[in-house]
Homo-oligomer: A and B are copies of this chain.
Amino acid sequence: MDTQTSVLAAKMLSDLALIRSKSPLVHNITNYVAMNNTANALLSIGASPVMAQAVEEVEQMVAISSALVINIGTLSTNWVESMIKAGQAAYERKIPLLLDPVGAGATDFRTITCHQIIDTCNPAIIRGNASEIQALIDNTTVTKGVDSTSTTDAALESAKALAVKYKAVVVVSGETDYITDGTQVNSVSYGSPMMRSVTGMGCTASAIMGAFISVNSNAFEAATHAMLLMGMAGQLAAKYSKGNGSLQVNFLDELYSFNADSINRL
């Protein structure tokens, strides 16, 4: 491990200790597929997840939360109203918002909804795969469903442009993850190809990023630490996983017990 990564890992462990001691409430308006995984991942690292999407209650739930994560994976019309209401309530209360633009570019409905949320709620962080990030800044991008058809290297310039345009930290995750505020760029190269075969891994990254930003108000650092933890825990779990079934389980176990020794096992 190079010196820069060692420093980042130490700071990540420090944030993780804060999450475990403070147990921040992370409010998720997310998709049906990954709700169980993301709730468990938040519990794994010591945060307290709540999933709530009713228009009647989102403002009140945001008000007691430390971060809001909006994920459009299985979008419905009536959920969009709740997402925007929750996002605006978060912005007014200076509660950090993270947007996961699942499938942006695959359908107009997804792309348009993302822009609505960005324009009206000012997310602190936007995290997606290469195709999604490109689709948010370049209208001509063609994507395939919710899996990326591009590489993170190809998407880095789009990520920077998106970060500058919307004054947000942008994370483009894949084989190498890039985190940028438009000027600075961090990269994370941990993980395992097998992680692509576990549904909702990106959603999980976004969810735990919500926990990190709730204890570290520097969005660039928080996003980097979350991706570092994702990559390291995934890489460790993949070593003894026979397939995507056991990886989903082992990944949670690695998050649950993650500490300095975990890093030595990489």
A199–B252 alpha-carbon span in the complex (Å): 12
A residues 214-266 touching B (CB-CB < 8 Å):
241-246, 248-257
Min distance, Cβ A212 to any Cβ of chain B, angstroms: 18
Q: Report yes or no: A253 in contact with B248, Cβ–Cβ below 8 A.
A: no
Cβ of A189 < 8 Å from any Cβ of B?
no
Complex CA gap A125/B240 in Å reads 38
Query: Which residue of the partner chain B has the closest CB to A257?
Result: B243
Cβ of A185 under 8 Å from chain B: no
**Roughly how many angstroms separate A13 CA and B238 CA in the complex, as a whole number?**
25
Binding site for B on A (CB under 8 A): 23, 25, 27, 31-37, 39-40, 43-44, 48-57, 60-61, 64-65, 73-78, 103, 106-110, 144-147, 196-200, 241-246, 248-257
Residues of B contacting A60 with CB < 8 Å? 106-109
Contact A54 B76 (CB under 8 A): yes
Q: How far is the CA of A31 from the CA of B74 in the complex (A)?
A: 12
Does the CB pair B199–A36 fall under 8 Å? yes
Do A145 and B246 touch across chains, with their CB atoms under 8 A apart?
A: no
Smallest CB separation, A58 vs chain B (Å): 9
Contact status B245-A250, CB under 8 Å = yes
Flag if B245 contacts A251 (CB, 8 Å): yes
Taking A48-B147, A245-B252 as given, write out 16 further A-B residue pairs in contact, using a Cβ cutoff of 8 Å, ordered by the A residue number: A27-B145, A33-B35, A33-B36, A39-B200, A43-B198, A43-B199, A44-B245, A48-B146, A50-B103, A53-B76, A197-B256, A241-B253, A243-B254, A243-B255, A245-B256, A248-B249
